[in-house]
Amino acid sequence: MNAQAAQAKGHNLDLAIVLGGPLVDKVAALTGVPPGTDDFEVLGNFYGHPAKLVKCETIDLLVPTNADIVLECMLMATEGLTHDEGPSGEFTGMYGPLHVLRHRLCRERRGIPAVQLRLAASGMSGDI
């Protein structure tokens, strides 16, 4: 929705991808809330106090201070949907044509970040 609004205005969209951090952050991110709800207010409700945030270095966005890795990017909304992920799909229906992301900065909170990943591929599946 945000990408479509930016594209309609002829603008690209600043975007921060947050990896790692406490499990409660992921639970808060998956909470179904009405459009227009402040996601960081929801996160703060899980913590019982306002979420601690820090400003990104290259874009005007806030991210949780406890993120292990933050990728600061620009979503190229003015270029339209340009890349198709292929003949795959998943239950959320989010796969399909994609916008291009231009990477600006990768910031690590610690020397060696610990990010939990789940891999699934033909012949293998497991946590890293």
Is residue 90 flagged as an active site residue? Answer: yes
Catalytic residue among 41, 72, 79, 90: 90
Could you give the CA distance from residue 87 to residue 43 in angstroms, rounded to a whole number? Answer: 35
Could you give the CA distance from residue 25 to residue 67 in angstroms, rounded to a whole number? Answer: 9
- The set of catalytic residues is 90
